Amino acid sequence: MNATLARDWMRAAAAAIAADADRLTRLDSAIGDGDHGVNLNRGFTAVVAVLDQELPGTAAEVLVKTGSTLMSRVGGASGPLYGMALRAAGKALPATPEVSPADLAVGLRAGLEAVGKLGGASPGDKTLIDAYGPALDAFEKAVAEGADLATAAGAAASAAEAGAQATVPLRARKGRASYLGERSIGHQDPGAASTSLIFRALAEVA
């Protein structure tokens, strides 16, 4: 991955979120504040504008810039969580023109760890981690088996989508949804849904 591909990833993620913003907001209306799609769409629109003005020289810089922009432009929990994940991922990448799939796996792992520390969530808590964790596991497994970026990203996207769907029967234990108790069961977590969109965007451009 280089800076151009990293920017293409963020642009694809922005397009996917814009196209699915209404669904994300409906999911969040059922168990949260009802603003997830709107907030994330606003944030990624700002990311595209920033990256269009000046393309950073490395993939690491693209992800750090994206994370910082989301943290400053998105309200609610989404900005800090997604922003911290992408910024941490970028900071963990080597500052070189090209980064390998193995390098990206290290960055994605740093992003997941940052989200876990910030939100205090664990697998099964009905959060974005339930999509991010399986996606990362699939990505790392594929890379370990010698897969290229496109193959590893495709595996990650499929795992993220399955993980997001698997949040439906879970009872939320973190975030606003946790206040609903048993009533949170039967609804897909909006953060897991948007996380799957971001991983699918990577697969589409890789």
76 vs 24 pLDDT, higher one: 24
| 130 has pLDDT over 90 | yes
What is the rounded end-to-end Cα distance, in angstroms, of the chain?
8
| 25 has pLDDT over 80 | yes
The fold adopted by the segment(s) 3-205 is: 1.25.40
pLDDT in tens, 177-193: 776 778 779 999 999 99
- Residue 1 makes CB contacts below 8 A (sequence gap 6+) with 9, 59, 98, 99, 101, 103, 104, 149, 206
Structure tokens at 124: 């099964």
Specify the DSSP class assigned to residue 183.
G
